[in-house]
Amino acid sequence: MMQWGKKRFKGKMTVLTLLALAVIIALAGCGSQGETAVNTEAGDAAAAVSPSPAATDESAAAKQEAETRVLQDEFGEVTVPAHPKRVVALYLEDYLTALGVTPVVQWYHPLWGTQEYLKLDLPTFDITGNIEVLLDMEPDLIILDGWADKAKYDLFSKIAPTYRLPENILYDSKAILTNIADVMNMKEQGEAVINAYEQKVDDAKEKLNTALGDESVAVMRLNVDDSTFALFGVNNRFIGSLYSQLGLTPNTWSKEMEEFQQVLSEESLPDLDADHIILLLSNGTWDSPENQEALKLLDSSMWKAIPAVKAGHVHRVERSYWQSGGITANSMKMDDILKMFVK
């Protein structure tokens, strides 16, 4: 009896065990299906969020396009940063500072120094030296003036993206400012600078017309290295705009001159027909010891025979901005001229 009961109980346990296993397997199957469903949904969501390789390529291209711009310069197309941060603009620092941008280095020439009037406390780059020193400045953009031919341009392009100003704007300070503002992606700032400059020109022109009338002006430079006088013509890059923009009347020789400048012989000085002479030095200052020998020319009989000199109409100016055609330099020249002639 007992043995049979045990066998019967054992049989019941076997059935119960099988039923329990079936339930566990069923539940496991449901859990697996639920997990699979969740994983599938998550996978679908991830697939929806993750871009396709083609979309990734397009996004990268759009980002690259947003970070750079393709411009046309004197020598062709050049890709430049959309928002350059470390800019080298050799002999064009005047325009950068007018836009409120400080370059990472400033132009320097062993004979002429820097553009002192800008008062930039920056490292210098000797344009007669090795351009590889610019590598230490880590520029992301280089802007060059007309002195850079294609060979120089190619060398600078190995340092950083390089933009060379178009040849047809090199004698127009407003056009250069507008061009550089575009290269810097600062068009609005450029327009503001130009508007202020043009307003200043209009005001100065009106005052000078009243003060001078038809009285003629000559701009001359005393070359201290060889003790000669150079007369600047109306096409001179540094001062030509004073005649064209301010309406100043050039003396006969300056008006007829096709060259930028001409060295005058001492014998010809008394024939200079200007009513006023604006005089600058080629280097240094009026007090520089090394210039004193050349300044003796101002005591010569030929110089004193010039009508404007006899009349006391010689106006000495500071050379650095008078030997620059930049927008800031031209504004400073206007200030000088207004002080000379408008009482």
CATH number at residue 292: 3.40.50.1980
Q: Which residues contact 329 (CB under 8 A, 6 or more apart)?
A: 94, 115, 117, 238, 321, 322
Number of folded domains that form the chain: 2
Judge whether 235 and 258 are in contact, CB under 8 Å.
Answer: yes
Does residue 253 share a domain with residue 314? yes
Does residue 281 share a domain with residue 330? yes
Does residue 232 share a domain with residue 262? yes
Give the DSSP per-residue string, 54-72: HHHHHHHHHHHHHHEEEEE
Could you tell me the residue range of the domain that residue 131 belongs to? 67-185
Whether the per-residue pLDDT at 17 is higher than 50: the answer is no
CA angle 224, 225, 231 (to 5 degrees): 55
pLDDT, position 64? 54
Does residue 173 share a domain with residue 109? yes
- 109-121: pLDDT as tens digits: 998 899 999 999 9
- What is the pLDDT averaged over residues 26-40? 42
Judge whether 114 and 120 are in contact, CB under 8 Å.
Answer: yes
- 140-171: pLDDT as tens digits: 999 999 999 999 999 999 999 999 999 999 99
Does residue 323 share a domain with residue 240? yes
198-204 contacts at long range (C-beta below 8 A, 24 or more positions apart)? 198/174, 200/331, 200/334, 201/245, 201/246, 201/334, 204/246, 204/334, 204/337, 204/338
Judge whether 319 and 282 are in contact, CB under 8 Å.
Answer: yes
Judge whether 279 and 314 are in contact, CB under 8 Å.
Answer: yes
Judge whether 254 and 320 are in contact, CB under 8 Å.
Answer: no
Residue the block writes with tokens 């604006």? 278
- In our burial notation (b when 16+ CB lie closer than 10 A, e otherwise), range 146-163 reads bebeeeebeebbebbbbb
Does residue 273 share a domain with residue 165? no
- What is the pLDDT averaged over residues 245-269? 95
Whether the per-residue pLDDT at 311 is higher than 50: the answer is yes
Whether the per-residue pLDDT at 37 is higher than 60: the answer is no
40 is a domain residue: no
Whether the per-residue pLDDT at 228 is higher than 60: the answer is yes
Question: What are residue 21's phi and psi, to 5 degrees?
Answer: -65, -40
Q: Which of 140, 139, 148, 155 is nearest to 80 (CA)?
A: 140
55 is a domain residue: no
Its pTM stands at: 0.79
Mean pLDDT, rounded, of the chain: 86
- 50-105: pLDDT as tens digits: 455 554 555 555 555 579 999 999 999 999 999 999 999 999 999 999 999 999 99
Judge whether 254 and 232 are in contact, CB under 8 Å.
Answer: yes
pLDDT, position 268? 96
Report CA 275 to chain centroid distance, whole Å.
Answer: 38
Question: Band of the pLDDT at 139, cuts 50, 70, 90?
Answer: very high
- 290-306: pLDDT as tens digits: 999 999 999 999 999 99
Between 64 and 182, the higher pLDDT residue: 182
Does residue 217 share a domain with residue 135? no
pLDDT, position 232? 97
- Taken in order 32, 37, 38, 42, is the CA torsion positive or negative? positive
17 is a domain residue: no
315 is a domain residue: yes
Does residue 331 share a domain with residue 213? yes
CA distance 300 to 147: 36
Judge whether 100 and 193 are in contact, CB under 8 Å.
Answer: no
Residue 340: strand, helix, or coil: helix
What is the token pair recorded at 18?
């099988």
Q: What percent of the chain has pLDDT over 90?
A: 78
pLDDT, position 183? 98
48 is a domain residue: no
- What is the pLDDT averaged over residues 282-290? 93
282 is a domain residue: yes
235 is a domain residue: yes
pLDDT, position 59? 57
CA distance 109 to 111: 5
Does residue 231 share a domain with residue 314? yes
Residue the block writes with tokens 């000797």? 126
pLDDT, position 263? 97
Between 91 and 39, the higher pLDDT residue: 91
Does residue 314 share a domain with residue 219? yes
Does residue 178 share a domain with residue 216? no
CB atoms within 10 A of CB 296: 10
Q: What is the DSSP letter of 118?
A: G
pLDDT, position 43? 43
pLDDT, position 26? 43
CA distance 98 to 118: 10
Whether the per-residue pLDDT at 20 is higher than 90: the answer is no
User: Where does a domain end: 130, 161, 185?
Assistant: 185
Does residue 115 share a domain with residue 208? no
234 is a domain residue: yes
